[in-house]
Amino acid sequence: MLDKKVIELLNDQINKEFYSAYLYLDIANYYTKNDLDGFANWYTIQAQEERDHALLFLKYLQINSIPVELKAIDKPDKTFSNHLDPLLAGAEHERYVTSLIHNIYDAAYSVKDFRTMQFLDWFVKEQMEEEENADKMVNKYKLFGDDPKSLYLLDQELAARVYTAPSLVL
C-alpha cells in the first residue's frame, strides 16, 4: 500500500502533466499564428509527450489499486511578446516539473517506497532530457533567431521532429 502523501503527490502530478500539455499546445498555437510551423510541430509533439506522462502516472495509481481523482486543468496564463518568450517559458516550466518529480521522489524515499522510486527513476532521467532539449531550443534561438534565413532553417529542423511514445513499461 502506498503512503497517503505519496498518493496525493502522484495524483496531483497527473494534473500537472495535463497542464504541461495545455501549456505546450498554447505555445504551439502561438507559433502557428506566427507562421513558424516547425516550432508549432515541436511543441505539439511536446504536448503529446506530456499527455502520455499524465497517463503513465494515472496507470501507476490504477495498477496499485489507488482511486484516481481527476481535477480541473488550469488555462495557461503566459503571454508572449516575441518568439523567444515561449522558449524561455518552456525551459522554465521543465525546471518546475523536475522539481515536482524530485518532491515525489523525496516523499517516496522518506517512507521507503521503493516501488514508486523505481517508477520515478524513468521520469528523473526524462526530465534531464527535457531540460536539455528546452535549453538547447533557447540557445539555438539566441544564436540564430534574429537572422531570418537562420530562423527559417531552425524552423525546418523543428518541423522534422516526429512523435515517439514513452518507453516506460508498467
User: CB pairs under 8 A, 24+ apart, for 94-101?
Assistant: 94/127, 94/130, 94/131, 94/134, 95/131, 97/16, 97/17, 97/20, 97/127, 97/130, 98/127, 98/128, 98/130, 98/131, 100/9, 100/13, 100/16, 101/13, 101/127
pLDDT (tens digit per residue) in 22-40: 999 999 999 999 999 999 9
pLDDT bin (cut points 50, 70, 90) of residue 165 is confident
pLDDT (tens digit per residue) in 92-151: 999 999 999 999 999 999 999 999 999 999 999 999 999 999 999 999 999 998 899 999
CATH code assigned to 4-70+88-159 = 1.20.1260.10
Residue 169 has pLDDT above 80, yes or no: no
Domain positions in the chain are 4-70+88-159
Which amino acid belongs to residue 28?
Answer: A
State if pTM tops 0.85. yes
The pLDDT, as a whole number, for residue 36 is: 97
Q: What is the mean pLDDT of residues 48-72?
A: 96
Output the average pLDDT for the chain: 96
Residues whose CB is less than 8 angstroms from the CB of residue 21 and which lie 6 or more positions away in sequence, other chains included:
47, 48, 50, 51, 54
